[in-house]
Structure 1
């Protein structure tokens, strides 16, 4: 199925979860924040949150500095 991740179209498995999408993209599980269709997904829920066709996933990485 097709989804958008940070504005880029991606092809993922039909039954993909947020955790599986992050893993497929090589993104770390820690130090990131994820929003699915505009709603924040807590890290504890990544493995149980399914991603639907046409979903929009925004992944933000924490950056240290000032």
Structure 2
């Protein structure tokens, strides 16, 4: 298992888990969401190939409409 941080909460994930798998597991919607990995935004097209390493810090940001 590998420990990663998702919005400042630690999570244990299997070694080799992809960003796409983690987002699907946590029900992150397909649209209106950006993910930063260790401070850098990861393009959605790359989610399936980005493997999470020990100590990775992820921030999930959701777009909100309003005025």
Classify the TM-score, shorter chain: over 0.9
Partner residue in 2 for 1:42 = 43
- Superposed CA RMSD in Å reads 0.8
Partner residue in 2 for 1:15 = 16
Partner residue in 1 for 2:61 = 60
Give 5+ residue unaligned stretches, structure 1. none
* 1:26 CA displacement: 1.2
Which one has the bigger helix percentage? 1
TM-score by length of 2: 0.92
TM-score by length of 1: 0.93
Give 5+ residue unaligned stretches, structure 2. none
Structure 2 Cα separation of the partners of residues 57 and 46 of structure 1: 12
